[in-house]
């Protein structure tokens, strides 16, 4: 099974100012997160962010926040516990055709849901805490969860790797930034191919 850009949403977890300096390989992790956000924008994949206790840990970098439709402040380690799941569910489509106000309520059509985007591409810090708990909660909510390993970090390699082992055992797909890029594109004939390729070179 390959990732499909039209079925995907991107969630970037807690790349915060006071946390990132303590993260193993923090520069590469943040660089890949920014690439993911830029690719999502190019390919019209909705992107969301989270920040753990931002008053204490600071905000995500401004350039990362700018790539997200919304950045959710949270106290729970799992973003799903504080409204992320609601953001990821498709909103109702506005009604089309006719003046609904002129019809009695029992004749009005209910808003139809948009096609849901059930594949969540997830990356962030710390891999063994907020990322892990968010991923597992999203699995419980029946999303397909893909974690971008080279855009995730913890303070130690051991904790990061333990998170990946547990996530894989739970049914999460582990991928890299380049895998996401080329699966979202599918073809060198895609209109955004050159722009996406430039991001990963």
Do the Cβ atoms of 51 and 74 come closer than 8 Å?
Answer: yes
Give me the pLDDT at residue 188, please. Answer: 93
Q: Is the pLDDT of residue 147 over 80?
A: yes
- The full set of domains in the chain, from first to last, is 5-89+115-200 (3.40.50.850)
Say which residue, 162 or 98, is predicted with more confidence: 162
Q: Where are the beta strands (DSSP E) in 101-176?
A: 119-124, 144-148, 173-175
Chain position carrying tokens 């971008």: 148
* Residue pLDDT, tens place only, 35-46: 999 999 999 999
- Closest by CA to 145, choosing from 120, 171, 168, is 120
User: Distance between CA 162 and CA 2 in Å, rounded?
Assistant: 25
User: What is the value of pTM for the model shown?
Assistant: 0.88
At 92, the pLDDT band (50, 70, 90 cuts) reads: very low
- Closest by CA to 184, choosing from 168, 200, 169, 171, is 200
Q: Is the pLDDT of residue 193 over 50?
A: yes
Residue 174 pairs in a beta bridge with: 147
Give me the pLDDT at residue 90, please. Answer: 67
């Amino acid at each position: 099974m390959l990732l499909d850009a039209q079925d995907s949403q991107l969630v970037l977890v807690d790349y915060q100012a006071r946390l990132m300096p303590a993260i193993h390989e923090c520069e590469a992790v943040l660089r890949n997160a920014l690439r993911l956000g830029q690719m999502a924008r190019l390919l019209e994949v909705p992107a969301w962010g989270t920040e753990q206790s931002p008053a204490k840990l600071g905000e995500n970098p401004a350039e990362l926040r700018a790539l997200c439709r919304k950045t959710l402040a949270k106290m729970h380690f799992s973003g799903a516990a504080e409204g992320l799941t609601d953001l990821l569910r498709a909103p109702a489509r506005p009604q089309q055709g006719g003046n609904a106000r002129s019809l009695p309520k029992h004749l009005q059509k209910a808003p139809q849901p948009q096609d849901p985007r059930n594949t969540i591409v997830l990356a962030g810090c710390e891999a063994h805490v907020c990322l892990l708990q968010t991923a597992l909660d999203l699995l419980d909510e029946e999303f397909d969860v893909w974690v971008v390993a080279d855009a995730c970090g913890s303070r130690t390699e051991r904790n990061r790797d333990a998170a990946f082992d547990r996530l894989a055992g739970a049914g999460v797909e582990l991928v890299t930034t380049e895998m996401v890029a080329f699966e979202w594109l599918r073809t060198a004939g895609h209109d955004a191919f050159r722009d996406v390729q430039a991001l990963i070179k």
